[in-house]
A = this chain, B = another copy of it.
């Protein structure tokens, strides 16, 4: 836990640094996995399931029976909660649909855009320390809304060769029936290259460890798009004197528990709130089952006192956090000043977990300062926008000279001729 009082702006660059990864060291492993999957298809995947997941599996694809039976292992409470979250996420993402708007830029020249779903998409859901069925909601709901024709899901089996029932239940609820017991980089390779069982897709979504991240980089070399580049999860909390230290500490810890590499930054304009939040963190962490992760993450966290919310936002924009919590009074006055962030939580009752699970916003967000140049996942992530234009004869008459002159000036006479020949 590092504490800074009014650090000079020259030091901000150091304070906003992310840990660096050793990408190169694993790139050889990734290349080998892709090459194995390309060569041996399903067999390679079954081999990797045994090697990496200690699971002996015969069929890579989860059967309809397995999917149907998953519901028996889920409490009614959890089913209702998942359904409730689904409703909110669907409502918010449906609101992102655009109507077609035809624009007559010149008389007789009409231009517009239409959305088309990306036909084939793949969703990766990690196994590991938490069964992320919430991520199934976040990716499958917009994929369905967009109208993607083929939506497949890969997730690693446990060592009995089974998939967590909450993941299966949620996938079924969202209309996904092609689920594969494949984890890690080999899942990304399978969705990129296709195998006997796994169809290849045009875009891959979902979080994962450094192997999955590196594999998604590799997928791009094969022409497959990905949701966004990734790094460890992050939160930056800005608290003024009206913030509640108990709440702030709980938010910081809910980020810290994700993993030992999670990034946590707390900025307060009030020294008392800063100190009380630190005390609260120390108190609350004791109760957490995942406190080992949380402690490691907190060891690298920054607690910073700054003079004003404006300064805090300047720092935040420089850092570009995945999650930004404004535990301040009159937060509406500061929204316009937020430049770089993935998702923003306003006021004392907007905890990050609301957005992580059920408020409706997407939790697949840019980390590692990518909030400077990337958006989080939305309905847009599952569509392409095609432009259309129709020129009437009159339209071309009105615009023809402009095109001819420009084409000629660029030395592209055939471009000019395509107009001239029509106006002859």
Using a CB–CB cutoff of 8 Å, the interface residues on chain A facing chain B are 77-78, 80-82, 84-85, 87-88, 91-92, 95-96, 98, 101, 103, 105-106, 109, 111, 113-114, 116, 118-119, 129-134, 166, 202-203, 220, 223-225, 229, 246-247, 250-251, 253-254, 256-258, 284, 287-290, 294, 331, 335, 338-362, 366, 368-376, 378, 380, 383-393, 395-396, 399, 401-403, 405-407, 409-419, 421-422
Q: Contacts of A95 on B, CB cut-off 8 Å?
A: 101, 103
Nearest residue (CB) in B for A120 is B372
Q: Contacts of A338 on B, CB cut-off 8 Å?
A: 116, 386
Sample 18 A-B pairs with CB under 8 A, ordered by A number: A84-B402, A85-B406, A88-B105, A95-B101, A109-B354, A130-B412, A223-B229, A250-B421, A254-B414, A284-B417, A287-B417, A341-B386, A344-B387, A349-B395, A351-B391, A351-B396, A374-B384, A375-B384
A284 to B415, CA, bound (A): 12
Min C-beta distance of A108 to chain B, whole Å: 8
Question: Which of A88, A256, A389 gathers most chain B CB within 10 Å?
Answer: A389
Q: By the criterion CB–CB under 8 Å, are A406 and B335 in contact?
A: no
A254 to B105, CA, bound (A): 23
Contact flag A352-B111 (CB < 8 Å), given A385-B378, A386-B338, A386-B344? no
The answer, among B258, B346, B370, B371, for a CB contact under 8 Å with A389, is B346
Q: By the criterion CB–CB under 8 Å, are B357 and A402 in contact?
A: yes
The answer, among B254, B287, B386, for a CB contact under 8 Å with A415, is B254
A346 to B129, CA, bound (A): 53
Min C-beta distance of A40 to chain B, whole Å: 22
